[in-house]
Every structure is written in structure tokens, then in C-alpha cells.
Amino acid sequence: MNSVFIYSSKFDTYSLGDSHPFKPYKVSMVYELCYRYGLFDHPWITIKEPLPATEEVLEEYHSREYLDALKGANSGSFDFTMINYGLGTSDNPVFKGVFDFSLLVAGATTMAAELLVSGEADTIFSPVGGLHHGGYAHAEGFCYINDIVIAIQRLLRKGHSRILYVDIDAHHGNGVQDAFYHTNKVLVLSLHQNGESLYPGTGFVDEMGEGKGYGYTVNLPLPEYTDDESYVRAFMAVYPSLVKAYQPQCVVAQIGLDTLKKDPLTNLRLTNNGYAQVLKEIRKSSSKLIALGGGGYSVPDVVRGWTLAWAIMNSIEPEDPYQGMVGSALYSHDRGGAENLYDPVHAISPVLRKDVDAYIDSNITSIREKIFPVLGID
């Protein structure tokens, strides 16, 4: 195994605003916690710092007009024409360095793609990436660009022809779905809180691709209150079969952690125990894996969860560096709750589970009836 963790302390220098939930600095916290847990101390692991991408890289997917507007926003001052591109909203505020930040995120994710293509690495994590809502000519959902689409298009151009994109962020990966809706060279799977109850209001089970892409977009929407047990069951009902049938050359995963019950923006009820189980399955599904961070707004929990994710990607069982420390209860506050990477277990009531599972089961049935036959799954 050759693993690369992509990190730059420059991510910290950008801010969408004090009250904005998207905090680029969480990436530095993940880096630090991984460091404290010794999760870089293995001979197969390296840390690489990305350079900003060139504008041409953004043009590989985005329209020139949009990029001009985004570039115009880089000074931090807003003008009304920007609204046409989704810029200057409360979700996507204009902030100083917004274009520079976008170039750096794109630089990190394209670095991941290039490392995979060259064979220099087979397992890559860029926690700052995963901006799955970014549109061809507009910003939305905290995403100013779509680094995922740019990276997958590169993988396709450089010889990969069956890429499995799996998106476990709480929100539907609409931007990525749109880009690959008409191709069978990318199989897009998104599990997310349903569009009736959460932005972006898409990702229903009957959105399943068109033309050559028919059957190659798979949406598994989940109801509010879905917890670990129901989530893992839903994932396992679909993912292993898709992997077996599609035989992906590589997996690109958006591992957003806004599915947690503590997340302030969503209504799922996961802990990182369920998240970890799903990540282990993703890890098993391909020797070539690019993982991108995505959403997650309960920052300390996301930091622990992504640290755990890095351990799982590298098949390391993290050891608690504070174990046995005298007076550990006293110290636990100072450690920001990082004494154990795993969350306490949580489960919903049996009455609630009945409703949650009924909803999930009807979607699983739908996928099995409509999509599995297209992909040759019995």
C-alpha cells in the first residue's frame, strides 16, 4: 500500500465568515489529530502539500463566464451580477480569496487523481475536497467549484473506464450526478437524507441516469432519524452488489460526516460507529481509493471521524495515545473529547425504527427492481 494524506496549512487562511458552518480550518485539526494518534508513522504513508491548480484546470469542467465571476469575487467585494452565478448568497458568500481557495482545493483533488494515475499512490485522502454540489456554471451548497467532477474526468481521460463514485455525505451529491448522468463510465451512488426534508431536494430513487448512463446513477434516500443500524443495513443492501457487478477500476468516495446526530444542519442520527463500518466496506471494495472530505458541521466530531477514516483507509486500529494517563477524566475536557475516536453507541427507538426501515426498504426494493437488472445483478 502507498498512502498519501494531502494537506496544506494554507487552508486555514480562508474563511467563509465567522457564522458560516463550513470551516476550512477543520482540515488542520484532522491533520493534528492524525499526527497525535501516530497515524502518519508508517512507512507506506506520506503527507503531500498541494499547489494551487491553474485556471485551466477549473476550465476542464466549469464555464469561463462562471470562472470570471468567481475570479471577480476574489477581492471579497460583491456586485449584483454575481448572484446569477450563485455567488453572494448566505450559503455561498463572497469572501476574500474565494478564487484562490477554489484553486487550492482543485489543486489538492487533482493531485489525488494524478497520484493514482501515475501509480505513485493507491490510497489518497484530501479532507478539504469533496465539493459535490458545485455546478457547471454556478456555486451552491457551500461549493464554489466541483473538484470531484474535475478529478473523475481526469481519471477517465487517463485511462480509467469504470469509476465508482460513492457519496455518503448527508446531502445528495447533485453536482456530481449531473455531470455523469449520461455515461456508464462512472457509477454514481449517493446515500443521503431525502430531498423532501433536506437541501438540495433531489436524489430520489427514480433519478437513475439517462441514455448510456441509464442504471448508472443510484440514489438511496434515507428518512430523518436514520441511525447506524438502519444506515449500515441500507448500505449493505446495495453497495457490495454494485461493486461485484461493476468491478470498478477505482473508487472515489465523498465521505462527508454531516450524517452524525450532532450535526446542526441535518436530521440523521448516525454515530461514527456506523460510519466506520461503511468506510471499512468502501476500503474493501477497491485497492485504489481516493477519499474526499465533504460536509460535516459539528467540527470536533468531524475531526475525530475523519481521523478514524484515515486509520480505516490504512487498515490501522488507532491506539489511544492517552490510555492509562493518571486522572484521565480530569484531562478529557482539555483534549477536546479526543480521548477516544469512537462515539458512544446510539440507537433509535423500536417504534421509530419501524417507520425508518419501512421507508428504506421501499427504496431498496425499487433499486433492486429497476437498477439491478440493468447492471446484470440477480
Looking at 20, 42, 62, 133, which residue is catalytic? Answer: 133
φ/ψ bin of 90: left (φ > 0), alpha (ψ from -120 to 50), beta (otherwise): alpha
Spell out the residues 6+ positions from residue 258 whose beta carbon is closer than 8 angstroms to its own: 169, 170, 171, 265, 266, 294, 295, 296, 297, 302
Instruction: By CB under 5 A, tell whether 207 contacts Zn ion.
Output: no
Please give the DSSP secondary-structure letter assigned to residue 269: B
Instruction: By CB under 5 A, tell whether 169 contacts Zn ion.
Output: yes
Nearest distance from residue 75's CB to Zn ion, in Å?
28
User: How many CB atoms neighbour CB 351 within 10 A?
Assistant: 8
Among 202-210, 243-251, 295-303, 324-332, which window interacts with Zn ion (CB under 5 A)?
295-303
Using the minimum distance from each CB to Zn ion, give the nearer residue, 19 or 118.
19
How far from 155 is each of 109, 118, 233, 251, 373, CA to CA, in Å? 11, 11, 31, 11, 27
How far from 59 is each of 130, 136, 147, CA to CA, in Å? 18, 10, 11
Using the minimum distance from each CB to Zn ion, give the nearer residue, 82 or 260.
260
Binding mask 73-102 for Zn ion (x = CB under 5 A): ------------------------------
Instruction: By CB under 5 A, tell whether 215 contacts Zn ion.
Output: no
Instruction: By CB under 5 A, tell whether 293 contacts Zn ion.
Output: no
Is residue 133 annotated as a catalytic residue, yes or no? Answer: yes
Instruction: By CB under 5 A, tell whether 258 contacts Zn ion.
Output: yes
Nearest distance from residue 104's CB to Zn ion, in Å?
20
Q: Between residue 304 and residue 333, which ones bind Zn ion under the rule CB under 5 A? A: none
Distance of CA 119 to the CA centre of its chain: 23
Nearest distance from residue 148's CB to Zn ion, in Å?
13
Instruction: By CB under 5 A, tell whether 301 contacts Zn ion.
Output: no
Among 21-29, 120-128, 211-219, 255-263, which window interacts with Zn ion (CB under 5 A)?
255-263
Q: Which of 72, 203, 256, 305 binds Zn ion (CB under 5 A)?
A: 256
Among 103-111, 276-284, 287-295, 335-343, which window interacts with Zn ion (CB under 5 A)?
287-295
C-alpha cell at 30: 484532522
Taking CB atoms, the residue at the shortest distance from Zn ion is 295
User: How many CB atoms neighbour CB 137 within 10 A?
Assistant: 14
Using the minimum distance from each CB to Zn ion, give the nearer residue, 207 or 258.
258
Using the minimum distance from each CB to Zn ion, give the nearer residue, 67 or 170.
170
Instruction: By CB under 5 A, tell whether 171 contacts Zn ion.
Output: yes
Q: Is the peptide bond before 200 cis (omega within 30 degrees of 0)?
A: yes
Among 4-12, 34-42, 165-173, 327-335, which window interacts with Zn ion (CB under 5 A)?
165-173
Contact between residue 270 and residue 235 where contact means Cβ atoms under 8 Å apart:
no
Using the minimum distance from each CB to Zn ion, give the nearer residue, 122 or 140.
140
Distance of CA 241 to the CA centre of its chain: 21
Instruction: By CB under 5 A, tell whether 295 contacts Zn ion.
Output: yes
Q: Sheet holding 163-167: strands in order across? A: 45-48, 3-6, 123-126, 289-292, 250-254, 163-167, 186-193, 217-222
CA angle in degrees (0–180, nearest 5) for 338-106-48: 55
Comparing CA positions, the residue from 249, 247, 246, 305 lying closest to residue 277 is 305
3-state SS, residue 149: helix
Instruction: By CB under 5 A, tell whether 269 contacts Zn ion.
Output: no
Among 62-70, 97-105, 110-118, 167-175, which window interacts with Zn ion (CB under 5 A)?
167-175
User: How many CB atoms neighbour CB 82 within 10 A?
Assistant: 19
Amino acid making up residue 200: P
Nearest distance from residue 53's CB to Zn ion, in Å?
23
Nearest distance from residue 256's CB to Zn ion, in Å?
5
User: How many CB atoms neighbour CB 215 within 10 A?
Assistant: 19
3-state SS, residue 192: strand
Q: Which residues are catalytic?
A: 133
Q: Interface with Zn ion by CB under 5 A: which residues? A: 169-171, 256, 258, 295
